[in-house]
Amino acid sequence: MDSDDPGQTPIEYASLGLNVPQPRHSLKLILYVVLGNVWLLIALALYVGKTYEPGSPPMYSVYGVGRWFTAGEYELIVLAPAALGMAFMCLGIRQAWHLKGAKG
């Protein structure tokens, strides 16, 4: 392993006399991926839990509990966490590229 690589700073273990490179991961990368997955799961749960009530206009509810929403309102409620999830996943991809050494 080349210790001149800026992405891998060696850790010296004085008792063993070894140089071990640090892992090439970032807590920000892990955080972005986890938060992205959580928001996408919330969006999926809202999409799957859509309960339809016929009428004029047709109304929707989350698993039939709570307030009823029009079609446009319910779509916004589902799209908001989906957009947040995609944004966090894009940040995670950008962070991974940054760690890999690509310009981005």
Give 3-58 pLDDT, tens digit per residue.
555 554 555 555 565 555 555 567 888 899 999 999 999 999 999 999 999 989 99
For the segment 75-96, the average pLDDT, to the nearest whole number, is 95
Task: State if pTM tops 0.95.
Answer: no
CA distances from 2 to 18, 24, 95 (A): 13, 14, 23
Evaluate whether residue 67 is within a structural domain: yes
The radius of gyration computed from the CA coordinates of the chain, to the nearest angstrom, equals 23
Evaluate whether residue 96 is within a structural domain: yes
For the segment 48-72, the average pLDDT, to the nearest whole number, is 93
Task: Give the model's pLDDT for residue 88.
Answer: 96
Task: Give the model's pLDDT for residue 104.
Answer: 45
Task: Give the model's pLDDT for residue 35.
Answer: 95
Domain that holds residue 35: 25-100
Evaluate whether residue 70 is within a structural domain: yes
Evaluate whether residue 17 is within a structural domain: no
Task: Give the model's pLDDT for residue 99.
Answer: 76
